[in-house]
Amino acid sequence: MTVKVEQDPALELPPNTEAGAGAEFSQPLSSGKEEEENDDDEDDETDSVGYDGAGNGGGAPQLKKGPWTPEEDKRLKDYVEAHGEGNWNQVQRNAGLNRCGKSCRLRWANHLRPDLKKGPFDAEEVDKIIKFHMMWGNKWAKMASHLPGRTDNEIKNYWNTRLKRHQRANLPLYPEHLCSRVLDQDMNRHIPDESRGKKRSNELTQEKVVGMDDLVGDLMVFQHLDYGKDPVVPTNPLKRHASTGDLSYVQSLDKVENFYSNDLNYVLTKSQSVPLGSATANGYPIFDGNPSTSGTIHRSKKTGLPSFQCSSYEFSNSWLLQCPTASLIEQQLDTCIQSPESMSSQNTGLLGEIVNKGDALDDCTKSERLFEMVFPPLGYNIVSQSNAYPMRHPSSSVIGDCEPEACLFDEIQASNSPSAVFLMLGCLVHH
DNA sequence: AACATTAACAACCGCAAGTGG
DNA sequence: CCCACTTGCGGTTGTTAATGT
């Protein structure tokens, strides 16, 4: 889709406006084939003439769809630079663009904004994206806000592509060491569902986090203790049915299964987690029943899961959903903040060692600091590493998207294990 | 070279929150 | 409080380029 701009002399676009944006404008309509193919569109619209804004009157002209032309880009850019962002419908009317305001906003945000960083994601960005996704799930905008110059769309595209690739290759979505172990001492703590509002997932995630938001928040702490002895991760792929909100875990399907079996058994025996046998209509077990005694995960709100999440997952990894209760998180966060060192020193493998107190972590600095503390430098090969998945269905964050008020934790008591232990604390600080 | 598949990207759509009258 | 409009977000789809067979 990206077509090298064959600069249209007639447009006199500013010389290479923006490294990427200028040089690589999508230029569908003015370049050969694209142009021809879009002739129909152009016929009834205002690509070349411009929209005079009178279209609202009788028989409003159809707003143009499809790829933007360099001319449109220029108009939009000029207009926004002159008048600022916002009022996108005004932009549409006043800039001579026959595009809906929405489209204008999108075009500006994703392609014309001067601060956009074009080109492929570098390793650091990829690392961040993975981390963010583990924490927040499909919160593309949120991720973008932590990746200067990147857009949510870009991140989303990248992730989805990556997801497909990994899925196809049966590779883990997240690196093993990021999701090796999830520990939670407060396995039975229950958080009521009332707090779940009607907000959509992202707002929901934010609502109580506010301060924590920037902070990469919704914390997740991994404590890496020892990989050698216990390299597997007690995780089962969880699958949530979009319609019902039920969670189920994905049965291991391939060779990797055995690899994880030990750990899975470990988890299952030590915790009250997913009964291996219970199966859903999809063939996946579902957490069911009493919140206080089982791994039930309530999900009353719209999940916003991407389509692929609704279909059977082919990942072979085991997942286990874990979500600490808010109060516990708060406690633990507190501890962490007050003495982060304790995390590495204690090594109890318990959630309690970690921390994050929302109120105390309301700035990006702390956020980043904690982030780094929590996530060791990622020198791994993301793609080829482990088969360990974090405890959540792939499209949702491991924890971040797991509303505390709806998640019950199964304890994975690994305190005695010298193995790699990652403590993940997610969810929101619940008050 | 032709075709098929995959990756990358761009854009649209629907939904929901925010805002102002 | 209601309603219309705007804005933002996430999911989805469509197109093209790249790669494989």
pLDDT in tens, A379-419: 333 333 333 333 333 334 444 444 333 332 333 333 333 23
Of the three residues A186, A215, A239, the one that is the final residue of a domain is A186
Residue A45 reports pLDDT greater than 80: no
How far apart are the two ends of chain A, measured CA to CA in Å? 47
pLDDT, position A127: 85
Q: By C-alpha distance, which of A374, A356, A242 is closest to A300? A: A242
Q: How confident is the model at residue A62 (pLDDT cuts 50, 70, 90)?
A: low
Stated pTM of the model: 0.50
Strand B positions within 7 A of protein Cβ atoms = 6-18
Q: By C-alpha distance, which of A179, A126, A106, A196 is closest to A374? A: A179
CA(A281)–C1'(C13) in Å? 29
Work out if A199's Cβ lies within 7 angstroms of strand B: yes
Residue A146, domain member (yes or no):
yes
Long-range CB pairs of A250-255 (<8 Å, 24+ gap) are A250/A284, A250/A312, A250/A313, A250/A315, A250/A317, A250/A318, A250/A319, A251/A283, A251/A284, A252/A316, A252/A317, A252/A318, A253/A314, A253/A316, A254/A170, A254/A316, A255/A316
CA(A237)–C1'(C11) in Å? 22
Residue A345, domain member (yes or no):
no
- What sign does the dihedral A380-A381-A387-A392 (CA atoms) show? positive
A137-162 residue pLDDT tens: 888 988 888 888 898 888 988 888 88
One domain for residues A123 and A181 = yes
Q: How confident is the model at residue A273 (pLDDT cuts 50, 70, 90)?
A: very low
Residue A164 reports pLDDT greater than 50: yes
CA(A101)–C1'(C13) in Å? 20
Residue A291, domain member (yes or no):
no
Q: Which of A81-95, A231-245, A297-311, A382-396 has the lowest mean pLDDT?
A: A231-245
Supply the angle between the helices A152-169 and A123-136 in degrees, to the nearest 10. 90
CA(A359)–C1'(B14) in Å? 35
Please report, for the domain that includes residue A84, its CATH number: 1.10.10.60
Residue A80, domain member (yes or no):
yes
Residue A134, domain member (yes or no):
yes
Of the three residues A186, A205, A232, the one that is the final residue of a domain is A186
Q: How confident is the model at residue A205 (pLDDT cuts 50, 70, 90)?
A: very low
Of the three residues A171, A186, A201, the one that is the final residue of a domain is A186
Residue A366 reports pLDDT greater than 80: no
Structural domain span for residue A179: 119-186
Residue A245 reports pLDDT greater than 70: no
- What sign does the dihedral A30-A34-A39-A44 (CA atoms) show? negative
Nearest nucleotide from residue A106 CA, by C1' atom: B11
Q: How confident is the model at residue A69 (pLDDT cuts 50, 70, 90)?
A: confident
Residue A308, domain member (yes or no):
no
How far is the C-alpha of A96 from the C-alpha of A105, rounded, in Å? 15
Q: Which helix (H) or strand (E) holds A228?
A: none
Nearest nucleotide from residue A3 CA, by C1' atom: C16
Count up the domains in chain A and report the number: 2
Q: What angle do CA A412, A426, A302 make, to 5 degrees?
A: 105
CA(A412)–C1'(B13) in Å? 42
Residue A407 β-bridge partners: A297
- Mean pLDDT over the full length of chain A: 48
Indicate the SS3 state at residue A249: strand
* A173, A388 Cβ separation under 8 angstroms: no
Residue A218, domain member (yes or no):
no
Residue nearest to nucleotide C8 (CA to C1'): A141
Work out if A158's Cβ lies within 7 angstroms of strand B: yes
One domain for residues A75 and A107 = yes
